[in-house]
Amino acid sequence: MFKKVVVTGIGATTPLGGDSKTTWQNLLAGKSGISTLTQEWVAKHELPVTFAGQAKTPATDVLTLQEAKRLDPSSQFALIAAREAWADAGSPEVNPERLAVDYATGIGGVWTLLDAYDVLKERGPRRVLPMTVPMLMPNGPAAAIGMDISARAGVRTAVSACASGTEAIANAFNRIRNGEVDVVVAGGSEAAIHPLPIAAFAAMQAISKRNDAPEKASRPYDIDRDGFVMGEGGGALVLESEEHALARGAKIYAEVVGASVTSDAYHITAPDPEGSAAARAMIGAIEQSGSKLTDVAHINAHATSTPVGDIAEYNALKRVFGDHLPKIAVSATKSSTGHLLGGAGAIEAIFTVLALHERTAPPTINLDNPDPAIELDVVTSPRKLEGSNILAITNSFGFGGHNAVVAFRSTN
Amino acid sequence: MALSAAEVLAGLAEIVTDETGIATDVIALDKSFTDDLDIDSISMMTIVVNAEDKFNVKIPDEEVKNLLTVGDAVNYITKAQG
């Protein structure tokens, strides 16, 4: 007998705000979290891209100095998001052996790794800090959360590039659904606004070079889109069996009703233009929910603002929804937040949950000239979602051909 | 010019506080790094490396295990400066 799974807590630190509430308010207000980078390393390396979505509230403003010193920025964001989510869930008393973490990152501790290499080159091996290994490992963020909440039923890390955060939520959902655990803190974070990832993403022509108008750079579905915009931060959701949540009288945001992970096996970075594996992920998540495709009212699309990626996802959407597609309110929230890579799926899951909870689909900004090849009902100002038992999905796709989709249903 | 033991203690206390958040005035000569200050081996190595920089001394890895108290470290550093 499968368990029902619900969301009982949310937390985030993003380019739009230092917590989930501020982030959501600024998202609904159509604000952009993207700005010009003023760090000295931008000019020093003559980077071809000079902007990104930096965390609105620096992690070091929130954590103690000693906490911050022992954590890579990716783990700092994770801990901040998880603490907010945990408090939001009412800091529940949970049997530690029934409490787990599924927390993702796309890259891991890239700042720690590269800083440590600079120290090695400039000052020798003796000066490489002993915390370097635990700080750079990609399971660092998950481990930091697990220690903070005393989770002893497993602390796991999905690493599937930009699909990581959604895959972690899918993994968490399945553990609770199968009755292995009662509560999981799930999500993902990323802190890769560093000259090397910027140079590398620019080298592959993946990121926007709209240096003269950073706030306009992330423009999914617009004819003039020229790549994604890097963002940083993290998101966390407390997922819980409905039984456990009801027993303790928890507030419930939405039900998690399905999840699916597929892979393209097509190209290491380019999406399969047919989108067949991406389509299977969407269908899989919706089928698991027991609902019909026509029950889907809202989609938080992956929509990174790359020329080929947005089209490939659209092709997959057409394949899945056919005639129903024009009836779905589609939000491309990376237009405001930028692309948090391994954290993207987590914050977009939060947006999807809040869209259902508040019956409001968030806007897509910068859609000045819609690409005529993409015929979607894109939400450009906050839109009321009518009805009950509304189904919504969030899509994430990543380099490596990863596709991850999670489906949520409204509960109130 | 070599620093006095009191000056080394003050400097070392700053390093320990910076690494651990422990209040400087708690860091006294008779305090054990592990039992009293709850400093783990990773923090201890960070403190050692920072002390080497600050006092311009070498503290070999095999010596670190003998530095059980703050006083042990202060004595070692004070002598090593000379």
Q: What is the pLDDT of residues A294-315, one digit of tens each?
A: 999 999 999 999 999 999 999 9
Nearest to A138 by CA among A191, A100, A174: A191
Q: What is the pLDDT of residues A25-65, one digit of tens each?
A: 999 999 999 999 999 999 999 999 999 999 999 999 999 98
Contact status of A129 with chain B (Cβ, < 8 Å): yes
Q: Could you identify the residue written with the tokens 């949310």?
A: A10
Q: Respond yes or no: is residue A162 known to be catalytic.
A: yes
Q: Which amino acid is at A333?
A: T
Q: How is domain A259-410 classified at the architecture level of CATH?
A: 3-Layer(aba) Sandwich (3.40)
Chain B residue numbers with beta carbons less than 8 Å from the beta carbon of A126 are 49, 52
Interface test with B, best of A64, A67, A69, A71 (most B CBs within 10 A): A69
Higher pLDDT, A65 or A343: A343
Backbone phi, psi, residue B76, to 5°: -60, -50
pLDDT at residue number B1: 67
Whether the CB-CB separation of A196 and A351 falls below 8 Å is answered with no
End-to-end CA separation in angstroms for chain B: 9
What does the radius of gyration of chain B's CA atoms come to, in whole angstroms?
A: 11
Contact status of A130 with chain B (Cβ, < 8 Å): yes
How far apart are the CA of A66 and the nearest CA of chain B, in angstroms? 6
**Domain A259-410 in the same topology as domain A5-247:** yes
* pTM listed for this prediction: 0.95
Which chain B residues have any C-beta within 8 angstroms of a chain A C-beta?
18-21, 41-42, 45-46, 49, 52
Q: Respond yes or no: is residue A339 known to be catalytic.
A: yes
Q: Given CATH 3.40.47.10, say whether it is the number of domain A5-247.
A: yes
Instruction: Point out the residue among B21, B42, B49 whose CB comes nearest to the CB of A126.
Output: B49
Mean pLDDT within A274-296? 96
Q: How far is CA A361 from CA A27, A34, A63, A328, A383, in A?
A: 10, 21, 32, 10, 5
Whether the CB-CB separation of B29 and B69 falls below 8 Å is answered with yes
Chain A residue numbers with beta carbons less than 8 Å from the beta carbon of B52 are 126
Instruction: Point out the residue among A65, A127, A130 whose CB comes nearest to the CB of B21.
Output: A65
Please report the domains of chain B, with CATH numbers, ordered by start residue. Answer: 5-81 (1.10.1200.10)
The sign of the torsion formed by the CA atoms of A29, A211, A58, A233 equals: positive
Mean pLDDT within A333-359? 98
Contact status of A64 with chain B (Cβ, < 8 Å): yes
Q: Which residue of B has its CA nearest to A126?
A: B49
End-to-end CA separation in angstroms for chain A: 24
* Ranges of each domain in chain A: 5-247, 259-410
